[in-house]
Amino acid sequence: MLHVKDADLVFYNDLSADVRQQWVEQLILHPIDAQVTPGKANVENEAWRDIDSAYLLCEQDMAIPLGHQQMMAERARNQGASMMIKTCSAGHSPFLSMPDTVVEWVEELAEVGGK
């Protein structure tokens, strides 16, 4: 099982200490196999290859550094994905720290997708 040291700061660094603690208490252990299984082992027909996708890059993310996020998004693009990318100043959980930003972008994506 995967355990993240200092999970409060890794996942919720842009929230207040009391709110971070609330969310840390909700975390559960995660099977490490999901992180270390080779890419094509059990995956077929990845949706991002056929469906327009989006990636919200988070500048203050302590779990996945910005450069790594950019690399993942570009790798998908280089493999043929249609990938809309936007950057925000949030940590790993922008839906908690910047919900209005996330909602605005989802609405923007829905508008673009509806055309």
**Which residues span the domain enclosing 26?**
7-37+49-113
- In the prediction, which pLDDT does 54 show? 93
Indicate whether 2 belongs to any domain. no
Give the C-alpha separation, 16 to 37, whole Å.
Answer: 34
The H or E element spanning position 87 is: strand 83-88
- In the prediction, which pLDDT does 41 show? 55
Length in residues, the chain: 115
Nearest to 11 by CA among 64, 54, 51: 64
Please count the structural domains in the chain.
1
Tell me: pLDDT of 6 over 80.
Answer: yes
Residue whose entry in the numeric block shows the structure tokens 């077929």: 44
Report the chain's mean pLDDT, rounded to a whole number: 89
Q: Look up the CATH number of the domain holding residue 30.
A: 3.40.50.1820
What residues are labeled active site? 61, 92
For the chain, the C-alpha Rg in angstroms (whole number) is: 16
Structure tokens belonging to residue 53: 């996708």
- Give the predicted TM-score (pTM) of the model: 0.84
Burial of 11 (0-12, 13-18, 19+ CB in 10 A): buried
- In the prediction, which pLDDT does 50 show? 86
- In the prediction, which pLDDT does 49 show? 84
- In the prediction, which pLDDT does 74 show? 93
- Encode pLDDT of 40-78 as tens digits: 555 667 888 888 999 999 999 999 999 999 999 999 999
Indicate whether 42 belongs to any domain. no
